[in-house]
Amino acid sequence: MNVERFRATLDLMTDLDKSLKIQTWVDQIRDNLANLAGAPAQPSFQTGLANALGSLTDASEKLQERTTPEQFSLIRELGGSPYFDPHLARHLKTEIAANAMTPSIPRDALQKYSSERTAFMETLRTTLTGLNSLGITGQELEPGSADVSFAIPGDLFGNELGAFAKELTFIDRLIRHLGEALTDSSETTRLEGLSSSTPTVAITTGIKVISSLADLVTKFLTAWEKVEKYREARQNLTELGLSGKALEEITDQITTTIEEVVEESVELTLSGFTEDHGRKNELRNALIQDTRRLFGQIERGLIIQFRAHPKEDEEGDDANALMAIQEAAQKLSFPSAQSEPMLLASGAVVEGDVPVFKYVKKTTSKKTTKNTSHTN
């Protein structure tokens, strides 16, 4: 985790705690349990407990809505997952119901949890104070704007500077092709930030382009859930000793699933293109290669994050696009890097302006490998 993502995750946790009042509801539940332990039949204590549990339930639902899978993975990395658990209210209800006659048991457990959570939040605030003193601040989006960042794992470019430059070239080309397809003009890609550790490139460009990219990534991740099931089925068949046509058919279905997403995404992107028909065909070929390569990078560990800040009460195409970006960002969950990637072979990088994409069709035989290269 780099310092910018570290700072952003701290800001996220403190904002969630403040706006959702998670600590407040936890403490109210704790206090009402303490009261019930001394006077179990007191109706006001029972009502207070029910109300506090209801408030925590609402907060837990909003927490899940406002935290993307990638953000939650960062919270987990910093040890915050127990204190920002979307299922906390449900766990507490189960624990309280299981000890209805002995409220002192959940009371003692919650007292310990509340103390630990209070200490954790105090550590967050102290750390943020220190970061502010050092001038390390977060990047805020202006209302009516959006951005996208690419966290590029070292395995994609072998930790070589020249190969990393080619990754940046690919991102720039992808944005330009999307921009031309969507707006009949090439979009400018502006560098917003560059972080080390896992190299992360944050860029801004046209809102329509970012929205289209978010939709494209969403379609792939949805298809990838199906692909994972196919891969699991293939593994199960392999373990049962089966081989041959059955496994080949599953592998072919995986390829078909991805190809369908590629074709659907590209045709949707080009649906409004009104310029020269010959250029449209050129763009189609370029976008097909870009999209396949992007999907292959995601399979090998690329993570793409989107941010959007819609203006209040604004309407129109840009406002709708910003809302779509924001909604997509809340749902994206990227797969772990595959040990044996199918879509993008190691070394399939951009050579100058010529993208090289290799499909590797894997079978159960280690000796049989089918490579198909697509070049511009």
Short-list 333, 330, 332, CA closest to 63: 330
- Considering the domain architecture, whether residues 25 and 151 belong to the same structural domain is answered as no
- Considering the domain architecture, whether residues 350 and 213 belong to the same structural domain is answered as yes
Short-list 307, 277, 17, 266, CA closest to 138: 307
At 154, is the pLDDT very low, low, confident or very high (cuts 50, 70, 90)? confident
- Considering the domain architecture, whether residues 151 and 92 belong to the same structural domain is answered as no
Is the pLDDT at 25 greater than 50? The verdict is yes
CA angle, residues 71, 73, 77, in degrees to nearest 5 = 115
139 lies in a domain? Answer: no
Tokens describing residue 297: 């990078």
- Domain edge (last residue) among 133, 162, 181: 133
- Domain edge (last residue) among 133, 159, 180: 133
- Considering the domain architecture, whether residues 153 and 126 belong to the same structural domain is answered as no
- Considering the domain architecture, whether residues 211 and 152 belong to the same structural domain is answered as yes
- Considering the domain architecture, whether residues 20 and 155 belong to the same structural domain is answered as no
pTM for the full predicted model:
0.69
Encode pLDDT of 323-356 as tens digits. Answer: 999 889 888 888 888 777 777 655 554 443 333 4
CB 355 within 8 A of CB 329: no
Neighbour count for residue 43 (Cβ, 10 Å): 8
Tokens describing residue 207: 């809102």
Q: How far apart are CA 16 and CA 10, in angstroms?
A: 10
233 lies in a domain? Answer: yes
- Domain edge (last residue) among 88, 103, 133: 133
Structural domain for 30, as ranges:
3-133
Average pLDDT over residues 9-15: 91
What is the pLDDT at residue 255?
A: 84
Q: How far apart are CA 16 and CA 62, in angstroms?
A: 9
The total domain count for the chain is 2
Per-residue three-class SS string for the chain: CCHHHHHHHHHHHHHHHHHHCHHHHHHHHHHHHHHHHHCCCCHHHHHHHHHHHHHHHHHHHHHHHHCCHHHHHHHHHCCCHHHHCCCHHHHHHHHHHHCCCCCHHHHHHHHHHHHHHHHHHHHHHHHHHHHHHCCCCCCCCCCCEEEEEEECCHHHCCCCHHHHHHHHHHHHHHHHHHHHHHHCCCCCCEEEEEECCCCEEEEECCHHHHHHHHHHHHHHHHHHHHHHHHHHHHHHHHHCCCCCHHHHHHHHHHHHHHHHHHHHHHHHHCCCCCCCHHHHHHHHHHHHHHHHHHHHHHHCCCEEEEEEECCCCCCCHHHHHHHHHHHHHCCCCCCCCCCCCCCCCCCCCEECCEECEEEEECCCCCCCCEEEEECC
Encode pLDDT of 55-108 as tens digits. Answer: 999 998 898 888 877 788 889 889 999 999 999 999 999 988 888 788 888 888
At 3, is the pLDDT very low, low, confident or very high (cuts 50, 70, 90)? confident
Residue 189, judged by CB atoms within 10 A of its CB (0-12, 13-18, 19+), counts as buried
